[in-house]
Amino acid sequence: MVSFDVAKKMAEDAVKAGEIIRYAVRTSEKFGLCIEVESDSGWNPDPWWQEINDHESSTESHHWH
């Protein structure tokens, strides 16, 4: 488990490197700030920030980058 800041930096670097299309910061009631990424294979939880796979109990607030 990495910190939010580290996960966000990794997502930013992945966008610059062309590894993912974009990422979003999402607010989850259960986990707080989270990061998810979109890649060529679709929309997935960010593999570096794993505690965000509980969509049912979250309040989604996407901020695309």
Distance CA 1, CA 34 (A): 12
Average of per-residue pLDDT values in the chain: 69
Name the pTM for this structure.
Answer: 0.58
Distance CA 29, CA 55 (A): 10
CB 23 within 8 A of CB 46: yes
**41-53 pLDDT, tens digit each:** 766 554 444 444 4
**5-63 pLDDT, tens digit each:** 888 888 899 899 998 888 888 877 776 777 877 777 766 554 444 444 444 344 444 44
Supply the pLDDT for residue 16: 94
Break the chain into its structural domains and give their ranges: 4-64
Q: In this structure, what token pair is assigned to residue 65?
A: 């980058």
By C-alpha distance, which of 12, 49, 22 is closest to 33? 49
Q: Determine how many CB atoms are found less than 10 A away from the CB of residue 36.
A: 21
